[in-house]
Amino acid sequence: MKEDQFGALPRGINHIGLTVPNLDQAAAFLKKALGAEYVYDGLTLDDAPRKGRTVEHQLGLSDGSKIIKQRLLRIGNGANLELFEIVSDKQTQPAGLQDLGWNHISIYVDHIETAVARAKAAGAQFLSEIHGNSKHEDTPENASVYFVTPWGSLVELQSIPNGYYYPDDSEAETWIPER
């Protein structure tokens, strides 16, 4: 366990939250496009919605918002993906790469052409053809491509089969999901 002056350091990313307009459709897309697997439902339509002043305060929701569905999925050997379906008068469009804040997730794949075919079959809209990665990821046979989900979120498919290279002042190596 790594530590600093405050004690134990974080172990890593547990999950990434994603608000979608229709949780069941989004989960079906993620299963078909990326092989996502169901972990559990944290909230269903059979449960009372999470709402009210306390929930709004704890989660930074606008007045009157209510969470009606919540589901945890997992994609391969990586962080969990927590889906929310929220009813709100103040929802905005998903962030693009140029927008401030978290703007995309990257999925590591071994066979990018297969991953592209699977995502296209599920309804993903690709921004371009497969292309090379950027500095430190541009080793032989690397590949990357972005697509937009049916609800507008940005996802990157990435493959770096021959690893990364690092500057002399690097403090860690990139985490890559195990097979």
Q: Are residues 87 and 1 in the same domain?
A: yes
- Tokens 């918002």 identify what position? 65
Name the β-bridge partners of 43: 70
The CATH number assigned to the domain holding 156 equals 3.30.720.110
Q: Are residues 84 and 102 in the same domain?
A: no
> For position 178, what pLDDT does the model report?
80
How many other C-beta atoms can be found within 10 angstroms of the C-beta atom of residue 3? 8
Quick: pLDDT tens for 37-96: 999 999 999 999 999 999 999 999 999 999 999 999 999 998 999 999 999 999 998 888
Quick: pLDDT tens for 124-134: 999 999 999 98
DSSP E strands: which ranges in 9-151? Answer: 15-19, 37-43, 50-51, 66-74, 80-87, 104-108, 125-126, 143-148
Report the alpha-carbon angle 152-96-146, nearest 5: 70
- Phi and psi dihedrals of 30, rounded to 5? -65, -35
Q: Are residues 34 and 58 in the same domain?
A: yes
Q: Are residues 66 and 100 in the same domain?
A: no
The SS3 call for residue 65 is coil
What is the pTM assigned to this prediction? 0.89
Q: How many CA atoms lie within 13 A of 45 on its CB side?
A: 4
